[in-house]
Amino acid sequence: MRHSPTFRRASGWLAAAALSLTLSAHAQPGDSAMRDALEAARNQQWDRVDEAAIRDHVLAGYVEYHRLRNRLPQAEPGQVLDFIERHRDSPLADWMRGQAIGRYGEAGRYGSLLAVADGEPSGTERQCHYYTALIGSDPEAAAAGGRKLWRVGQSQPSACDTLFDHLRDGGEIDEFDVWERMMLAWGQGETGLVRYLGRQLGSRWQEGRDAVERLQRSYADITRVPTCIGPECRGSGPLFVAAMHGFIRADTEAAMEAWRKIAPHLPIEETHRHAIEEDLAFHSLVRDIEHNLAWVDEALPRIGTTRVLELRIRHALSKRDWNDALSWIESLPDDSRDESRWQYWKARAHEQLGDTERAEAAYARAARGRDFFGFAAADRIDRPYSLNLERSSFNDEFRGQVDQWPTVQRTEALLRIGEEGLANSEWLHAAANASPGEVRALADYAARRGWHARLVQTTITAQLWDALEWRFPEAYREHFLHWGRQTGVDPYLLMGIARRESAYNPEAMSPAGARGLMQLMPGTATLLSRQLGISDPGPYGVLDPELNIRLGSTYIRDMTDRYRGNRLAAAAAYNAGPGRVDRWLRDAPEEFDLFVESIPFRETRDYVQAVLSYRVIFESLANGGSSEGVSMLSQAEKTVRYDASLLARN
């Protein structure tokens, strides 16, 4: 059920039906002409555009955008800047600037490019055009930008060639830079680029090229290649970083033994040494190589990265070494150590070591968090959950003004003519650029219109983290309650899963093919439909919200049955698959919190915590915004042994 929610244009019979209903119910004069004009403009069929019919339409700028874009690069920068100014409150302005930079750059009209640019653009190709344009007027900035674009381990667009050639001719990119990039490419498995860059190096780098060829055949030869690579040994650091990167992933234990032998003799910079040791410590902990642990503990104070320290704490927790866990928690940076997760584990450690006073204090600090460990801490000290719920209210007069805002009018018009993707772009551009008061008014509008997915995305874009009623709307509530009752599944768990999976976008589709509110794979939907004795919905029918919820509820019911009614394990299985969860339980710690922390996949570990904390929020909102009587986990879920005994079928 893994996902990557995204707004997508409607497809299939479901979307077509919805579009038909929308158009018939809300169409306004000029909409039909605008829909035809926009289609014609995309195809450059200007004779089909009814200029008189669309002249005063709120979306006229979208047709103008295509007209001006198609005139690039011949159009003058003044025309582009005029368009940008007139549409500065719309994504059209940014799109036009980007199109102009790209087209002017391709045509070599660098003066025009700089006239329309507003600092470094987004996108590698446009950045290459931009810094090429700066060569004449600001060579230092061109060199700095070009070197940044050069230092990557994959091929860059041909738009970068002129910039790179100029910098190489001027000595801004020298043979060491070529070698450094070659090593980055080797580390990323870009063998074609490695060969291409290798041919650009002179005889002084022959020993380095030979070392790369040898190490590509066998990483174990890292103890036998020269330690001084290139002039003044400057190439040694990049070579050993790239080689150790591959060696550590291939055989972490052997890589450790090799590193012990060569580390004292390597003439490399501290940044390169740190990169190797951080990588080595990380994979030693991820793969639980006990033989490497003493070295990891010795190296950690100088490595000091949060991701490795957190792994070391998890290792201590897995061994129930509470003193060790406390020690490493104290080594975290202040901002990480203050997170509810680590305050919770600090409290647990003090509790296990018999220091009740310190445990209470740490639990209290953890309980301030509105997340899994914050709620777990609150349960430990019998305190209500900290929701920090923020509410906003607007009077009817102000709401009437918001209804007339241009961005609202354009979004509504785009939806009326079936341009869902453009409507989302228009709306989220407004949310990203609005003032705090304005973005709350936009969220209120989305809530009033029942735009659940757009509402959630608005709160994410504007970081309205405390606006819980907007972040967790009552979307499809009746379906969740109905199918929760029918399947015997906690409806708030279903809501939490859907919110995490799709952010309430009923047409969300992941790269893996999962679909809909609860991100069902078509094959899973087929099996569940067969199980229920209903028709296979196919890849588009599964997007129907009620059917998606029904099938997802059935799957969760099967998972909760598999784990003796345990929602925590069921949520983990929904994300990672029951086979993996079965294995984790057989090797698991016994307590619920240790089980969650021991989940080896970060995605699933975060997923379980999010879903269970989301269900608390949904239930609390249904309770008028109060967490009184709400519990994240049942008493059984908090006290049961999380091991193989949880499996209904051993």
* Sign of the alpha-carbon torsion through 120, 121, 126, 127: positive
Give the active site residue among 501, 507, 619, 637.
501
The answer to whether 569 and 646 have CB atoms below 8 angstroms apart is yes
Residues forming beta bridges with residue 520, ordered by sequence position = 515
CA atoms of 565 and 477, how far apart (whole Å): 23
H or E element, residue 357:
helix 356-366
In 3D space, the residue among 237, 234, 232, 212 whose CA is nearest the CA of residue 222 turns out to be: 212
Token pair of 290 as six digits: 């006990």
Judged on CB neighbours under 10 Å (0-12, 13-18, 19+), 177 is middle
| DSSP letter, residue 25 | H
CA atoms of 294 and 287, how far apart (whole Å): 15
What lies within 8 Å, CB to CB, of 268 at 6+ separation is: 233, 236, 237, 240
CA atoms of 619 and 494, how far apart (whole Å): 11
Is 501 a catalytic site residue? yes
CA atoms of 278 and 306, how far apart (whole Å): 10
The full length of the chain comes to 650
Number of C-beta neighbours around residue 226 at 10 A: 12
Token pair of 152 as six digits: 């990557």
The answer to whether 78 and 96 have CB atoms below 8 angstroms apart is no
- With H, G, I as helix, E, B as strand and everything else as coil, classify residue 230: coil
The residue written with tokens 């368009």 in the block is: 83
In 3D space, the residue among 192, 147, 196 whose CA is nearest the CA of residue 168 turns out to be: 147
Question: For residue 545, is the peptide bond before it cis, meaning its omega torsion is within 30 degrees of 0?
Answer: no
Secondary structure (DSSP) of 121-144: PSSHHHHHHHHHHTTTT-HHHHHH
Q: Distance from first CA to last CA of the chain, Å, rounded? A: 24
Token pair of 632 as six digits: 């994240």
The answer to whether 494 and 480 have CB atoms below 8 angstroms apart is yes
CA atoms of 125 and 99, how far apart (whole Å): 11
In 3D space, the residue among 293, 265, 270, 269 whose CA is nearest the CA of residue 280 turns out to be: 293
CA atoms of 549 and 240, how far apart (whole Å): 52
In 3D space, the residue among 392, 352, 391, 383 whose CA is nearest the CA of residue 365 turns out to be: 383
Give the amino acid at 40: A
CA atoms of 366 and 343, how far apart (whole Å): 5
Checking 122-128 for CB contacts under 8 A at 24+ apart, the result is: 122/98, 123/98, 124/149, 124/156, 124/157, 124/160, 125/157, 125/159, 125/160, 126/98, 126/101, 126/102, 126/159, 128/156, 128/157, 128/159, 128/160, 128/163
In 3D space, the residue among 295, 290, 285 whose CA is nearest the CA of residue 263 turns out to be: 295
CA atoms of 333 and 306, how far apart (whole Å): 7
Catalytic residues: 501
